[in-house]
């Protein structure tokens, strides 16, 4: 699959400028930035929760092993 080159990127940016106009581009950029920031925040929170769950189960398994060995 070929990657996008600088010529294609210039054409896409020109078409976006023609379609939306120069006044709407900063607003669109801000909203895209906010969306990306929110997405990263959400994925970070999910990864943190998964890490807590994994460490919690590992701790619980070790505690069970200690109880079994003491018996």
DSSP letter assigned to residue 22:
T
With pLDDT > 70 as the criterion, what percentage of the chain qualifies? 77
Any domain includes 1: no
Please give the average per-residue pLDDT across 12-40, as a whole number: 93
Contacts of 17 (CB under 8 A, 6+ apart): 25
Give the torsion sign (CA, 35, 41, 47, 50): negative
Q: Which tens digit of pLDDT belongs to each residue from 30-64? A: 999 999 999 999 999 998 888 877 777 655 656 66
Any domain includes 48: yes
pTM: 0.54
Any domain includes 13: yes
Residue 52 structural domain = 6-70
Any domain includes 31: yes
Any domain includes 63: yes
Any domain includes 53: yes
**How many domains is the chain built from?**
1
Any domain includes 49: yes
**How many residues are present in the chain?**
71
Please give the average per-residue pLDDT across 9-24, as a whole number: 92
In this predicted structure, what is the pLDDT of residue 50? 84
């Amino acid at each position: 699959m070929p990657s996008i080159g600088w010529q294609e990127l210039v054409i896409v940016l020109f078409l976006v400028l023609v379609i939306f106009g120069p006044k709407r581009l900063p607003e669109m950029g801000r909203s895209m930035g906010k969306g990306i920031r929110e997405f990263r925040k959400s994925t970070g929170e999910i990864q943190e929760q998964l890490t807590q769950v994994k460490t919690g189960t590992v701790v619980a398994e070790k505690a069970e092993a200690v109880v079994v060995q003491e018996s």
